Amino acid sequence: MAETGYTLPVWVAAAARSALGQLLGESFVAQPMLRLDPQGDPRADGVDGAEPFLQRPVPVEAAALLAPGRALAMARCEAGEGLDLTRGLRVWVELSWLDPPPLPQDDWLQLEAGEGAGVHAASGALCHSAFARRLLECNLRPHVPAGQGVRLRLTLPRGRALAERTSNAAFGVVDGLALIGTQAEVQRSAAPDQLAAVRAELERRAARTGGCPDLVLVIGENGLDLAAQLGLSPALLLKAGNWLGPALVAAAEQGVRRLLLFGYQGKLIKLAGGIFHTHHHLADGRREVLTALAALQGIPAPQLAALHAAASVESALAELEQWDAAAAEGLRARVAAAVEERSAAYLARYGQQAMAVGAVLFDRQRLICARGPLGVQLLEAFQD
């Protein structure tokens, strides 16, 4: 296994593959081989001289047939070195044949949330990323008999308690951990190796024909998922960790000329206060930044005190909106503009004034809530 370990979707896929093996009458394999690069046609692996897909063994602890057409398997998350929320988390996957079999227009793979698996509050559907579904599809589809389909039910026994330590609820995900992630291997947003990975990717893009003049620097998995939904090309997206200042400088050094910062307002507001390493263990100051910007906007003292006393940026702005919606909208716009201004000043300190930085912020409902002056232009240009 890679030293960095694997993200939650990989362990779900491993357990699902083992459960499927039980449905098919296969002997239990403690380390099933998984494809971790879910692109292309999973049925074309090695066919007609095609290059076989890279496969790796992923441990599974147990699998058993519960009844005809119904099986259960369990894997235990290992995220590699360093702290990680999912370390040691047991992942239970129950797989069963669809009865009746799916029609041609139906989904052959149906996903359900069991205890501890996060769901969208609005729909009750299992919260999962496009990567997680593709990973399941490419590892299950080649083995599912033609005309048949499977139902996958995910259970994370500790998921509900662990979710309380995440920002899932801030994005409308309740009851457990979301099955998100955009790659197989864990990336550590606060560790220096995450910054090294960003730099390496920027160098790779800069070496391409035409270089890398445009970039969308996305903060967090929710931002990455939302950016794709908004029509921003995956070729422009690069996920950043907490080393945002050095990442900005590295982008400018590699020839990026237009960069859009896209992230949650509760995170990007730190940049408006000149905090360019955003991990909460190093610095916070969000309430102070928000209150100072509100004072510059002329918001009265009682409301300033309420902003400073609020539990979060989100709740502070929500309370301000109840008092004066126009004032809240103006404050959000001021935050976005300040992010752009402080980013430009940060770059100037390192002699990188040529790169234009725009900012677009979204809220807990995953809706864009603010755009800086440059952010408006860049979002429109990059969506086109």
Domain boundaries defined on the chain: 8-177, 192-383
Residue 337's pLDDT band (cuts 50, 70, 90): very high
Query: Does residue 133 surpass a pLDDT of 60?
Result: yes
CB 59 within 8 A of CB 30: yes
Which of 155, 81, 83 is CA-nearest to residue 112?
155
State the pairing for strand pair 55-57/116-117.
Answer: unpaired
Helix axes 286-296, 325-349, angle to 10 degrees: 110
Strand partners, 258: 214, 356
**Stretch 50-58: mean pLDDT, rounded?**
70
**For the chain, what is the mean pLDDT?**
87
Query: Does residue 96 surpass a pLDDT of 80?
Result: yes
- Tokens for 105? 């227009």
N-terminal to C-terminal alpha carbon distance within the chain: 40
Rounded Cα distance between 310 and 367, Å, is 21
Highest mean pLDDT among 80-84, 121-125, 178-182, 356-360: 356-360
CATH 3.30.2110.10 fits 8-177, yes or no: yes
Residue 190's pLDDT band (cuts 50, 70, 90): very low
Share above pLDDT 90 across residues of the chain, in percent, rounded to a whole number: 60
Per-residue pLDDT at 225: 79
Is pTM beyond 0.85? Reply is no
Per-residue pLDDT at 121: 87
Query: Does residue 371 surpass a pLDDT of 70?
Result: yes
**Stretch 248-262: mean pLDDT, rounded?**
95
Per-residue pLDDT at 48: 43
